A and B are shown apart, each in its own frame.
Chain A
């Protein structure tokens, strides 16, 4: 089983860091789709099967919280695992995010932290665990 990932962040540099982190994680990663704001992220979700979305909070046009709310309202995506990857440090905002059923990785993050969160949220097996996975080398940019 490989997992398709959606990375939503307005910083192309941060998207590159996340994509590289996933590619070298040893996890069986399938396609990695990219979007630069929540609106583009929702468009990707309409057209592609996504196993987990990694979403920033502060973005132009549609921010991460607005995107998460839209995802949770849609019958098709209500159960989508969402990992917020953000600099957000406000306890108030983080508690609100937890209430929306998402997990949180704080920037800056160690690669292992991102990897462990993806494993925990998708149930994907790793090559240092029980089953091997071969990362795909294809990236689909939005």
Chain B
């Protein structure tokens, strides 16, 4: 694992733990197979010292538990709330990983998280993947990638 991949993995794990109260599992469990369906994917675009985006995709059954934990609600959150919760997780991960990977004195402006489809998970023409990670959690897994290079 490269340093950038390690930073992204570490930050994502910490954010899922501290904000989402979801804890990592060391190895994929049978229920966390990569065949699990994509639940939702979020992109957080940034500009400044570099332009790019962080992509976070949730697989398995992460979303309802994540949103319930973040909101502290007993009742199941709405689908919109679940997507908002994932968006906030992506936003926090992006804000924390950029200085680690691209320099702590650099200034970046983050855009609001956007829901994207499966076709947005891969690098676009002109984009470079700076870091990628998978975080396995009790309820599924998350796949992350940090892309830079293409104007948003």
Q: Which residues of chain A have a CB within 8 Å of any CB of chain B?
A: 10-14, 16-17, 20, 58, 60, 63, 86-93, 107-108, 110
Contacts and interface: CB of A to CB of B under 8 A. Distances in A.
Contacts of B88: 11, 13-14
B135 interface: no
Given A12-B84, A13-B71, A110-B18, A87 B112 contact: no
Nearest to B85: A13
Query: Which secondary structure dominates chain B's binding surface?
Result: helix
B98 A89 contact: yes
B105 A13 contact: no
B95 A16 contact: no
Interface string B95-115: 110111000111111111000
Query: Which secondary structure dominates chain A's binding surface?
Result: loop
A108 B67 contact: no
A60 B99 CA distance: 22
B129 interface: no
A90 B107 contact: yes
B92 A87 contact: yes
Contacts of A87: 91-92, 94-96, 110
Contacts of A107: 19, 92, 95-96
B64 to A, nearest CB: 14
B70 A90 contact: no
Contacts of A58: 91, 95, 109-112
A108 B18 contact: yes
Given A86-B95, A107-B92, A107-B95, A20 B72 contact: yes
A90 B104 contact: yes
B61 interface: no
Given A11-B84, A13-B85, A14-B88, A92 B105 contact: yes
Most chain A beta carbons < 10 A, residue from B15, B19, B94: B19
Contact of A92 (B70, B71, B96, B107): B107
5 contacts: A10-B112, A13-B67, A17-B19, A58-B111, A87-B94
A27 B61 CA distance: 36
Contact of B106 (A12, A13, A90, A110): A90
B65 interface: no
B5 interface: no
A16 B67 CA distance: 11
B12 to A, nearest CB: 11
B14 interface: yes
Contacts of B52: none
